[in-house]
Structure 1
C-alpha cells in the first residue's frame, strides 16, 4: 500500500484546527502528531538549514531519521529565522489564522524573541498558546534544561522501575516526553473548548516533571499511607497478587488475577484447585504478603508445560493473561493488526516506514492504514506563502 504525498492529515474531529508547531525533538512533536492524527493541520516551523534536532537523531535509513519521521508524519514544514524581520512577518501572519501555537523551549526563550504569552495574547486574543517544558513556567527550576532521562530520575519513576537491588533503570520508552506530550494535548483541547464559551485563548503550561509525578499513582498512595518511599518490584504489582510475569516451560507469561474470583478461576485453570483454600492465600492482602511463596508454587506448575498451553487454559477460564512479547511480536499480533496500530508512513523521499497507529478511534472518521509522509525541511514554504498571500 503506497503512502500518500499529501501534506494534509486525513479528515478527523480536529480538521478545523490549524496548529503552528515550534516544537522539536519529542514532547512537542508527539503532541502535534496526536493532533494531526485526529485531523488537525500542523505547520511545523523549523530552523533554517538545521531543522528539528530530531532530524539528526537515529536510527537512520539512507541518511534520513526514522525517529523524526515516525512522529512528524503528515505535517508541513517551513523554515523561519525568528530573529530575521522578513521571517518574523511570515510567522506573525500565520498566527493571525492559527488556532494553537505549540512550543517546547526553555521558559524565557519566547519572551526574548518577543513572542511570549502576554505579548501574543494581546495581539492574537483567540490563540491558544501551549508550552511544554522540563519544569514548567513557575517554580525555582523553571529555567533549567531537561531531557526525558532527567525527569524520569527526578520524578520518582526510575526509583520504582527495575528489580530490587538492581541498578537504576530507565523506563524503556521516553515516558517523560511522551507523558508531557499527551498532557499537552489534553490542555490544548481543554483550552479550545473553553474558548468556545470565553471567546479567548488560554496559556497551557505543561511540565515534564509534573507529568512524571502525575503518573506515579499507586506509588504515591503507598507512600502516603506508609510514610515509606516504595522501591522497585520487577514485574510484580505492589498491591495485587498474582499480578506479575511467571515462567512457563519455554517462556514467561503475564497473569493478572485481580480479585478472589479470578484467583480461584486461575487456580482451576492451572490445576491448583486446592490453592485458594490455603490460609496464606485466602485474600488479596495475604497473597500480596506471601507473593514470593505463591510465585514459587505457581511456577512449579507452569514450568510443566509451554506458555501456549497455559494461555489457552487461562483464556478459557476468563483470567486476564498474555504472552510476554518483544516489539516485533507485538506489532505482528493479530489484535494489534486488527486495531490498525501498525501503520505505514514514509520518509521525506517516499521510502516507506512502519510506525505506531492512532490509538484514538472515533466513529464517523476513517482510521487509514497509511499516513502522509514526513516533510523535508522547508518543503512547504512556497505552498504556505502562496496560501496565506505572503508571496
Structure 2
C-alpha cells in the first residue's frame, strides 16, 4: 500500500496470500510486503502461535510484528464451507500463495498444488517444509533447533568441552525466509517473461546447509585427493576483551594486520615481515597475539574504534542487544524505525535492508490484529454485507465485528 507522495515498491501490484505461521513463511512474505507486495495473512481462528510468543500487547507480540508488518489480516475456518469458498476466491485472484505446513497438510485441506493451479494457472505456489516434501524425515515436526542440529550449524558452535551448541537465534528459520523470498521473486520474473506459474519448494534443511557450506564445510568439500584439513573457521574467530567490554577484529589480508597493529600504536608489529602472510601469522602467533591482546585490553571500546577508523582496520565494538540500536553506524544508516500500532503504541523494527534507487522499499505498515481487515478483504473479493454477516453467523470468519 503506497501513500500519497510515495514511490511504489518494486513488487507493487503483486498479491500474496500468506497461509504460513511462526517465522520462516511470515518473514519471507514480510520482506515482499516491504518491497511493495499486497500481502493478506490468513490465520485460523486460534491465530498464529507467534502472537503469544515473547513480550506482547494484546494479540501483538514484538516477534509477530517483526515478521508480519504491513499485511492485511483475515481469520477464517478453512475447514468450513464458507471458509473454503473464501480461500478459493483469494487464490483465484492471487499471484503467490505461501504455506509452511508439514507435507500433505494442504492436500488434506483441499488446497494442494494441483487444486490451486486449477483455480489459478498463473499462480506461484510456494511451500516451505522442514526436511522436504518426502524422504525419511518428512513427517517429523520441525523447529529451528532441529534444523541447526541436522544441518551441521550446531557443530560449528563447539563449546570448551568440544560439544555442539545452538546459535542463539532463529538462524535456520530466517535464512529459509530470505531464500524463499528470493525464490518467489525469481519465479515471478520467470512468469513475467513466459506467463507460466510454478511450484517453489524450500526445505529449511536445504537452506540451512547451503548457508553453512562456504566456511562451515570447507574441510569436507574436496572429494578427490583432498588437501590437508585447515583449522575450522569457527576456531579462528574470537572476541577480544577490552577495558570496558569486548571487540571483534579481523586480519585475513596482510594489509589488515598492518592496519590493526598501527591502530594500537604497534608500528613494530606492523613492520615485522614475519607477520605479513597468513601462514606467517599462524606460525608466529605467540609472538604477536599476546601483544595485540594486551594493547586491546588496555583500551576502551571508544578508543579502539577511533584507532580502527583512523587506520581502516577491521574491527567493531561488541554491542549488547539494548545497545545495538544506538551504535553510531546503526544510527547513521537509519536502520531502526518506529511503527505506529495505535493503542499498542510505537514499536521499533529494522527497516528493509535493500535500498532501491528507483523503487524504494519501506516498512509497509503495522502488523494486523487477528482478522482485523476481514471486512475490507471480503468486500474486495466481491462479498456484500449480507454475505459477510452470513459467514460470521456460520463461524467461517473471525475477528471482525458483525
Is TM-score (shorter-chain normalized) higher than 0.5?
yes
Q: Does 1:26 align with 2:23?
A: yes
List per-residue Cα deviations over 1:131-162 (Å, max 9, x = no partner): 11111213322222100111011111111125
How far residue 349 of structure 1 moved from its aligned partner, in angstroms, is: 3.8
Distance in 2 between residues matched to 1:139 and 1:73, nearest whole Å = 34
| Preserved CA contact (<8 Å) 2:35 2:361 | no
How far residue 279 of structure 1 moved from its aligned partner, in angstroms, is: 7.1
Distance in 1 between residues matched to 2:379 and 2:119, nearest whole Å = 23
How far residue 230 of structure 1 moved from its aligned partner, in angstroms, is: 7.2
Report what 1:186 is aligned to. 182
Report what 2:136 is aligned to. 140
Q: Secondary structure at the match of 2:217?
A: helix
List per-residue Cα deviations over 1:6-34 (Å, max 9, x = no partner): 9xx98311111000000001000000110
List per-residue Cα deviations over 1:185-215 (Å, max 9, x = no partner): 0110111011112212111100111111111
Q: 1:319 to 1:25 in 2, by over 3 A?
A: same
List per-residue Cα deviations over 1:346-380 (Å, max 9, x = no partner): 44744211112110111134555x65221111111
Distance in 2 between residues matched to 1:159 and 1:290, nearest whole Å = 28
Q: CA RMSD in A?
A: 2.6
| Preserved CA contact (<8 Å) 1:135 1:210 | yes
Q: Which stretches in structure 1 are left out of the alignment for 5+ residues?
A: 238-243
Report what 2:378 is aligned to. 385
Q: 1:269 to 1:174 in 2, by over 3 A?
A: same
Q: Name the count of aligned residue pairs.
A: 377
Report what 2:265 is aligned to. 271
1:174-253 aligned at under 5 Å gives the runs 174-216=170-212, 217-224=214-221, 225=226, 233=234, 236-237=236-237, 244-253=238-247
Report what 2:311 is aligned to. 317
How far residue 318 of structure 1 moved from its aligned partner, in angstroms, is: 1.3
Distance in 2 between residues matched to 1:221 and 1:147, nearest whole Å = 26
| Preserved CA contact (<8 Å) 1:128 1:188 | yes
How far residue 326 of structure 1 moved from its aligned partner, in angstroms, is: 1.2
Distance in 2 between residues matched to 1:299 and 1:226, nearest whole Å = 32
Which sits farther off after the overlay, 161-170 or 84-93?
A: 161-170
TM-score, length of structure 2 as denominator length:
0.86
